[in-house]
Structure 1
Amino acid sequence: MRIGIIGTRGIPNRHGGFEQFVECVAPVLVERGHEVFVYNSSLHPYQGNEWKGVKIIHQSDPEDKLGSAGQFIYDLNCILDSRKRNYDIILQLGYTSSSVWSFLYSGKSVLITNMDGLEWKRSKYSKAVKLFLKSAERWAALYSDYLIADSKGIQSYLWDKYKKQSEFIAYGATPIATSSEAVLKPYNLEKYKYNMLIARMEPENNIEAIIRGHVKAAHKVPLVVVGGLNNQYGKQLKEKYESAFIIFTGAIYDLDTLDNLRFYSNLYFHGHSVGGTNPSLLEAMSSNALIVANENIFNRSVLGDDAFYFENENDVASVLDSELKKEDNLQMLSENQEKILLHYSWTQIINKLELFLTNSLKTKSH
């Protein structure tokens, strides 16, 4: 198949979940004989025309000049270019700034959209933006030939809301193979004597509640906060809370470093409250992290009873003051590793995606 992938900042991953998904999936599809094209923002640091056999198409992205509005221009440029490429399939990841241009897609290509999470629920958006995002979600759901849901919760929502079937295809993860305490040295950390979180600096990720819980708790344990600090919210958090016990590292993209930081943490806090199956949650499970997650349907559907949960900063403080230890909860770690092997290995995810793309193309052709 000739496959175009739209909706990410590009690969290799320097941004988030969809980029990580493409980084893991696209090269394997190439190895299996497919021709894969990935659209990269002109702002992406990688400027090569090919990466691990994947063709890279660079498109102008004025986000650095226009802010979020630039994303709409970038997506428009990608979609207009896709009309010339004669793709069998266009895999659209997300809809926030692309579905407004859905009518411009070539009808010759099968359009498959991964619907991501419930973007209009994100607390960072104004009422007007939330109204727009609800419309964008509807356009994506109705204009796409086929839909992908990355969680069972999103799959149920799409059927209830739009009466449209979707294929459940989550993200993947790879169980940590080797560990090295040397990773801790640059951060002055000791194994099992710190907690951590990895998240984009957004309010709906409950970062401030996790930090405030650590500040409030009588049992003091360092908290390592990993995530980009280039937005206003991230800068405010760093300015307000950074101390010897609240450590902001900025963004870290090296997966081996992240895996080891998770592996040697005592508790791993996952505060994401909006969206489907979150990639960083699966990576925490595969890194043998003892997880304390925000209480919501998306996290519960993945973790079940193999995690501790919180709703607010007081819950976080209570968890900390109970002095949970990783070594006392080995069964949880084992169960989560088993989930990765059974349901979320990259091989299974790629097999499922490839089959869905193949069947979608056949069905549309007929």
Structure 2
Amino acid sequence: MRIAMIGSRGIPARVGGVEHVVQDLTGQLTRRGHEVLVYGRASYLRGAGAAAAGRCVVTAGFDGKHLDAFTHTASAVWDVLRRDVDVVHIHSPGPALWSWLPALAGLPVVFTVHAPDWLRAKWSLPARIAISGGLAVGMKSARVVTAVSQNLASDLSRDFNRPVRCVPNGVGQAEPVEPNIIRRWGLQANGYALHVGRIVPEKRLHILLQAWAEAALPIPLVIAAEDSHQAYARRCRNLASRGVMFLGPQSGLALAELYSNAMMVAQPSLLEGASLVLLEAAAYRRCVVLADIPANREILGDAGVYFSPSPGEDISELSRQLGRCYNDETLRKDTGNCAQKRVAKSFAPANIASLMEKAYNDAIDGTC
């Protein structure tokens, strides 16, 4: 079948969870004989090279904080109407604001909710209204709706009174690599803690930085993250204690080395769908210190070192768990091994692709 993917910034993926999910899914579908068109933005793809699988169509639009996603998605939707595709897969609530148009044209639409974007603190009120509106339009227009966690699927099904399938993110087997690139930052195997993601308020890097200062551990804390919110990023840099290293966004072999050689991975976020960072850290057998929320439990079960995100107490609790993980090598090894086995069993990319393939076929056949 011919599948059009709309809502990511394009492939090959550089930074961004949705982009990596779309890239991995595209690879799986292409290997099964499907033709995949992925719509992307020139500002994101500049200098990225060619995608390993699928074909990326660059859309027209206005770059900038407020018009970027809206105009590029509009351009993609109008373009897909003139192409011979079997199904349109729209990712995330914002882009779903345009999902009514291919649906009106009779194209089967599959809509995936990757996270509760409408709750993110970084959005202005107009942006939250637009994202909530996109969610409502996508839930109404799509023939099949999927969510990346069972918890999120249940919430959406209850709120919109329609079936929502759980199709989680997948993660492949990861082969640990020796430290080479990371030596330029003075890092060595098992000699640092790692945080990966975006520097935005809902990821709560400020909590991690305060907990790290309180723990006073004799290893660096490495932040491999994209500055997606300038004011918040400045706040975090001001909070950073000695030994905290901001490396910016990392990908490819550099990110693989960072995961492979980290003593632990710390993720204090309270707002997640199905964190790709958790899946990747688990695939590398890393011990993860993370907030005890349903979305995280759904991925790692008991194979994580959890802290209770109680207001006013989470900094001390996170600090305690960081220290516990640092001092207990057996804990790190056991949780890392258990995490790897869990994600290998429940989040294998081929199984995820099969679930999505069925969603496409059901949307096309109208048997959803």
Structure 2-normalised TM-score?
Answer: 0.91
Letter in 1 for 2:42: S
Pick from 288, 291, 309: which aligns with 2:288?
Answer: 291
Matched, 1:332 2:310: no
Name the CA distance, whole Å, in 1 between partners of 2:245 and 2:49.
37
Matched, 1:305 2:302: yes
Letter in 1 for 2:347: Y
Name the CA distance, whole Å, in 2 between partners of 1:186 and 1:47.
23
How many angstroms does 1:104 deviate by? Answer: 1.9
Match of 1:94 in 2: 92
How many angstroms does 1:305 deviate by? Answer: 1.6
CA change 1:358–1:124 in 2 (3 A) is: same
SS at match of 1:309: strand
Letter in 2 for 1:200: R
Name the CA distance, whole Å, in 2 between partners of 1:288 and 1:25.
23
Letter in 2 for 1:60: A
Matched, 1:251 2:254: no
Letter in 2 for 1:150: V
Please list the CA deviations of residues 26-71 of structure 1 after superposition, one character each: whole Å capped at 9, or x if unmatched. Answer: 13322322121110112133579963352221111322xx322222
Match of 1:273 in 2: 270
Please list the CA deviations of residues 282-306 of structure 1 after superposition, one character each: whole Å capped at 9, or x if unmatched. Answer: 0010011100112211011111221
Name the CA distance, whole Å, in 2 between partners of 1:199 and 1:233.
17
Letter in 1 for 2:13: N
Match of 1:224 in 2: 222
> Taking every aligned residue pair, what percent have the same amino acid on both sides?
20
SS at match of 2:327: coil
Name the CA distance, whole Å, in 1 between partners of 2:10 and 2:229.
20
Name the CA distance, whole Å, in 1 between partners of 2:15 and 2:48.
18
Further displaced range: 7-16 or 127-136: 127-136
Pairs within 5 Å for 1:157-172 = 157-172=155-170
Name the CA distance, whole Å, in 2 between partners of 1:111 and 1:267.
40
Match of 2:349 in 1: 346
Letter in 2 for 1:154: L
Alignment gaps of 5+ in structure 2: none
Please list the CA deviations of residues 221-268 of structure 1 after superposition, one character each: whole Å capped at 9, or x if unmatched. Answer: 3100011136414540464145641100001021x3223312221221
Letter in 1 for 2:189: K
How many angstroms does 1:132 deviate by? Answer: 3.7
How many angstroms does 1:271 deviate by? Answer: 2.4
Letter in 1 for 2:200: E
How many angstroms does 1:83 deviate by? Answer: 0.9
Q: CA RMSD in A?
A: 2.2
Please list the CA deviations of residues 64-98 of structure 1 after superposition, one character each: whole Å capped at 9, or x if unmatched. Answer: xx3222221111111111111131100001121x2
Conserved 8 A contact 1:39-1:59? yes
CA change 1:78–1:178 in 2 (3 A) is: same
Name the CA distance, whole Å, in 2 between partners of 1:123 and 1:95.
16
Matched, 1:355 2:358: yes
Match of 2:7 in 1: 7
Match of 1:260 in 2: 257
Name the CA distance, whole Å, in 2 between partners of 1:179 and 1:89.
39
Match of 2:51 in 1: 51
Name the CA distance, whole Å, in 2 between partners of 1:319 and 1:91.
40
CA change 1:249–1:90 in 2 (3 A) is: same
How many angstroms does 1:8 deviate by? Answer: 0.6
Name the CA distance, whole Å, in 1 between partners of 2:281 and 2:96.
31
How many angstroms does 1:280 deviate by? Answer: 1.2
Conserved 8 A contact 2:122-2:229? no
Letter in 1 for 2:158: D
Further displaced range: 79-88 or 177-186: 177-186
List structure 1 runs of 4+ shifted beyond 4 angstroms. 46-50
CA change 1:69–1:293 in 2 (3 A) is: same
